[in-house]
Amino acid sequence: MNAVDAKSITQRFGKITAVDDVSFTVSEGELFGFIGPDGAGKTTLFRIAATLIIPTGGRMTLFGLNVVSDFRELRNHIGYMPGRFSLYTDLTVEENLQFYATIFGTTIKENYHLIEPVYKQIEPFRKRRAGHLSGGMKQKLALSCALIHKPRILILDEPTTGVDAVSRTEFWEMLEGLKREGITIIVSTPYMDEALRCDRIALMQQGRLMGIDTPAAIRSSYGKKIYAVSHRDRYRLLLALRAMTDVDSPEPFGEAVHINIREGATVDDVKKSLERAGLEGAEVTEITPGIEDVFLELMKKGS
Amino acid sequence: MKKLLFLLRKEFRQIRRNRFMIRAIIAVPILQMLIFVPAITFEIKRIDLAVIDNDRSQASRELVSKLTGSSFFVVTATPATVTEAESMLLSGDADIALVIPPDFSRGLAGVTTPRLQVLADAVNASTAQLSWSYITSVIRDFNREVIISTGMIPANMAAIRTGSLPGISVSPRYWYNPKLNYKYYMLPGMLVILITVIGLMMIGFNLVREKESGTIEQINVTPIMKWQLIVSRIILFFIIGLFDLALGLGIGWLAFNIPFEGSLLLFFACAAIFLVAVLGLALFFSTMASTQQQFLFIAFFFVMVFILMSGIFTPTESMPLWAQQFNLVNPVAYLMRINRMVMLKGSGFSEIMRDMAMLTILALSYLSLAIRAYRKRA
């Protein structure tokens, strides 16, 4: 049985189609990621999975339970972390955790082993009000509260947005730990490096799924060679590359600009053109494509 | 049931943490009782009088001193002409002007028929009427004394010695409020306003805040049912409402020595029914609002309408028919009547039964309206 089975899920809000005919399955114990720009429909899809909204069309089951008709039973098995911090800021860390434990009919003690790796980091602050925690600690508390009833599936909507880099890494290590406990996790993220840590990822844009595969397979699905071009004057470099007929789709990526080279042209041709444009010493090196490169390529095809 | 207790514990914790809420719960009843009860009154304590004395005789001075002796009238000016007096009425320096004609004392001696003129600022019709009746009663007294002293009545009549004239004498006895103390009338009404404001505003803010801050998202994914969430709120603010009512009543008793003739139990029972109605309304309004500001606007509007129409200042019986019909669905109007009857008249269950029954029907209707609206949105 699949942990998640979604068939042709569609969600319309008036004239806007937020999720458009989306189908996917997630196996039990899988760490499944959704990546896509803001407004891609990830949050809407997660809200449907969390039994918060009823889809306009399609059918979704979690562990064979329908998200619409069996929502009551399902809510005992779902741990949900909305994108926005949604715990009580005027209650303390401990009170929040205790509250969520009691309304699920359990105690902190009973499932302490499950939350321990997460909770012990914020336990020293258990008397502090949740509103006075830092972003990283808030997120750990939210995860603890989502875990306290021992859910079978965690639905995490952009859990690391607005969290510092160290906390982000820690957070993903915790997720991997939970995965080892057998908990299925679906997570959305705008960070491509985090997507690499998932078993499989789904690329989403404008409400549609553009591809689902393992990170490795997605990267290798990039059929073309890709080069990173760098020069200290990045702005002029980008302008020059955009003007070149030999170069396809230059995209700035951090320090470098990623490009494809049109058929019939070579790396040397590009270097020469750059020199002619007054950009001496520009480096052009072939690289293995990242998820972003695939994603941008798919986006271009899609639109 | 257990979950309800957990929810209640959470709500109480949050209230306790919220300094603003705590302050409001304590301070609103105190301030409302201590400020509004003595401040809002229709009694007239001071009337600024302008006297144009064209006679300047002993008789005219006697009349004026009789007026100023009554504690209502203060002579603020003695203009020379009527035109001058009119401009004082216009500027508000005088509320009423008394014109004494030059033939006043001669008239009293029976030579002419003197005519006094009274000019009153009638922007506020009820004050003008009251001042008018005060001044005429003083003049009537004065007139009677003149009649007696000039011997137009046979001197051997017993009545003269007691200072009164034969005729029909009316002696009023004011029931339920023998001293005509205006505070006794205002205080029961103020208690209604107090729990209306507390009940309607506070629960609304609480309900909308959960929506606004997003915490409802997390709660919705738990096995907690919507009704449990609502019931926990209603219980919480029901308790706070009754607490504030008791606090307000205590202040009324301590500060104004307000009498309480009826049954306390009946009084609180009616307030409890009323609170359910008000909480139901607040719940209904909260389904229409997604932020606290929106809620404030909706609730403020309705609270104002309910209070002004409720008969706190003006009797509902004198309102136009449509207003009286509106008051059929106005919970504030019912409790306003009930409170005054129970507190001042000592009315029992049988006297207020009709109002209580109507209030119960209203409470149930508002609550079911709210639940239906809440379901639709959810």
Q: pLDDT tens-digit profile of B319-367?
A: 999 999 999 999 999 999 999 999 999 999 999 999 999 999 999 999 9
From residue B100, alpha-carbon distances to B67, B107, B183 in Å are 13, 11, 37
Contact assessment for residue A93 and residue A108, using Cβ atoms and an 8 Å cutoff: no
pLDDT of residue A56: 93
Is A76's Cβ below 8 Å from some Cβ in B? yes
Contact A144, A122 (CB under 8 A): yes
Are residues B221 and A78, on separate chains, in Cβ contact within 8 Å?
yes
What pTM did the predictor assign? 0.78
Average pLDDT over residues B251-260: 90
A138: confidence class by pLDDT, cuts 50, 70, 90? very high
**Tens-place pLDDT, residues B29-49:** 999 999 988 888 777 788 899
Which pLDDT band, with edges at 50, 70 and 90, does B166 fall under? Answer: low
Q: Which carries the bigger pLDDT value, residue B58 or residue B1?
A: B58
**H/E element holding B75?**
strand B73-77
Main-chain phi, psi angles of A2, to 5 degrees: -80, 150
* Position B162 pLDDT exceeds 60: no
A71 near B CB under 8 A = no
Average pLDDT over residues B43-60: 87
What residue ranges in chain A does DSSP mark as E strands? 4-13, 16-26, 31-35, 57-62, 65-66, 78-81, 153-156, 184-189, 200-205, 208-213, 226-230, 247-253, 256-261, 283-287
CB contact under 8 A, B222 and A88: no
Among B35, B361, B33, smallest CA distance to B189 is for B33
Cβ(A32)–Cβ(A199) below 8 Å: yes
Contact B208, B377 (CB under 8 A): no
Residues B218, A104: C-beta atoms closer than 8 Å: no
Residue whose token pair is 């562990």: A63
Inter-chain touch A86–B215, beta carbons under 8 Å: yes
| Beta strands A31-35 and A16-26, pairing class | unpaired
- In this prediction, residue B152 has a pLDDT band, given cuts at 50, 70 and 90, of low
Question: What DSSP string runs through A86-122?
Answer: -S-TTSBHHHHHHHHHHHTT--TTTTHHHHHHHHTTT
Percentage helix, strand, coil for chain A under 3-state DSSP, each rounded to 5: 35, 30, 35
Of B18, B216, B224, the CB nearest to A103: B224
- Mean pLDDT in residue range A171-188: 93
Alpha-carbon distance of B364 to B370, in angstroms, equals 10
Whether the CB of A19 is below 8 Å from some CB of chain B: the reply is no
Cα nearest neighbour of B11 on chain A: A91
Residues of chain A found within 8 Å of residue B17, distances taken between Cβ atoms: 90-91, 129
User: How many Cα atoms sit within 13 Å of A254 on the Cβ side?
Assistant: 5
To test the contact with chain B by mutation, choose from A90, A138, A145 the residue with the greatest count of B C-beta atoms within 10 A, namely A90
Per-residue pLDDT band at B376 (split at 50, 70, 90)? low
Coarse DSSP helix, strand, coil percentages of chain B, rounded to the nearest 5 percent: 70, 5, 25
Q: How far is CA B309 from the centre of its chain?
A: 11
Report, as an integer, the average pLDDT of A77-83: 93
pLDDT value of residue B151: 61
Tell me the average pLDDT of chain A. 89
Which value does ipTM take for this structure? 0.77
A104 touches chain B (CB under 8 A): yes
Closest chain B CA to residue A86: B215
CB contact under 8 A, A82 and B218: yes
How confident is the prediction for chain B on average, in pLDDT?
A: 87
Cβ-based neighbours of A20, under 8 Å, separated by 6 or more: A10, A41, A206, A207, A208
Name the pLDDT band for B160 (thresholds 50, 70, 90).
Answer: very low
Is the CA virtual torsion A107, A109, A115, A121 positive or negative?
positive
Average confidence (pLDDT) over A121-131: 93
Under an 8 A CB cutoff, do B218 and A102 touch?
Answer: no
Please determine, looking at this structure, whether the domain spanning B47-161 carries the CATH number 3.20.20.450.
Answer: no
Average pLDDT over every residue of B308-318: 88
pLDDT digits (tens, 9 = 90+) for B121-139: 888 888 888 888 888 888 8
**CA-based nearest distance A60→chain B, Å:** 16
Give the pLDDT score at B189: 92
Distances (CA, A) of B320 to A10, B62, B301, B309, B317: 55, 46, 21, 11, 8
Evaluate if residue A211 carries a pLDDT over 80: yes
Share of chain B above pLDDT 70, in %: 94
Domain boundaries, chain B: 2-40+182-373, 47-161
Residue B50 has pLDDT above 60, yes or no: yes
Quick: pLDDT tens for A258-296.
888 888 888 888 888 888 888 888 888 888 888 888 888
Contacts B220 to A, Cβ<8 Å: 52
**Distance between A71 CA and the closest CA of chain B, angstroms:** 9
Q: Specify the pLDDT at position A126.
A: 92
- Rounded Cα–Cα distance for residues A31 and B154 (Å): 116
Check residue B158 and give its pLDDT: 44
- When pLDDT is cut at 50, 70 and 90, the band that residue B165 belongs to is low
Q: What is the pLDDT of residue B155?
A: 46
Residue A206 — left, alpha, or beta (φ > 0 → left; ψ -120 to 50 → alpha)?
left
Structure confidence at residue B58 (pLDDT): 87
How large is the average pLDDT for residues B5-19?
A: 91
Residues A164 and B75: their CA atoms lie apart, in Å, by: 78
